[in-house]
Amino acid sequence: MLARQAAAQAGRLGGQTGPAGRPERADAFLADVAGQVAQARGYPDIGALVLARLAQGASLAAISREAGLHKDWLSRHLHRVDPKAAQAARRSQFDRADAGWLAVLPRLGVDDVAICGPGTSTSI
């Protein structure tokens, strides 16, 4: 992060520049950042923001960038600040990967992507 960006981030976070190396402070710092990001966008918490944006088809990287965070911030820290939202995000990744197939499968006589996987008796 550039010095200018670090100074701007510190200003947005009320002068806090980091967790000072202690795990409990790190968790509190991450929770504070997550809470501020969610509230700035009109959500009560980071979980609500993430779930709403996932439902709209956004990735964690896109949500992070929209929030002004590093693109990997949510991927790296969501499990620490909201484990339930992190679990939903993991499920969402698999759902998005199958989305393109779901429209085609009925024409092929198949209801589910899993039926077409390796080791199945269905042949397309």
In the block, residue with structure tokens 């929209």: 66
What is the number of domains present in the chain?
Answer: 1
Q: Does residue 104 lie within any of the structural domains?
A: yes
Per-residue pLDDT of the chain (124 residues; tens, 9 = 90+): 455 665 566 555 554 555 556 888 899 999 999 999 999 999 999 999 999 998 888 889 999 999 999 999 999 999 999 999 999 888 876 555 566 666 777 788 877 666 555 555 554 5
Q: Does residue 35 lie within any of the structural domains?
A: yes
Close Cβ partners of 109 (under 8 Å, ≥ 6 residues apart): none
> With contact defined as beta carbons under 8 Å apart, do 45 and 38 qualify?
yes
Q: Does residue 124 lie within any of the structural domains?
A: no
Q: Does residue 9 lie within any of the structural domains?
A: yes
Per-residue pLDDT at 110: 75
Q: Does residue 96 lie within any of the structural domains?
A: yes
Q: Does residue 55 lie within any of the structural domains?
A: yes
Measured over the CA atoms of residue 85, residue 91, residue 94 and residue 98, the dihedral's sign is: negative
Q: Does residue 17 lie within any of the structural domains?
A: yes
Q: Does residue 123 lie within any of the structural domains?
A: no
Domain that holds residue 28: 3-116
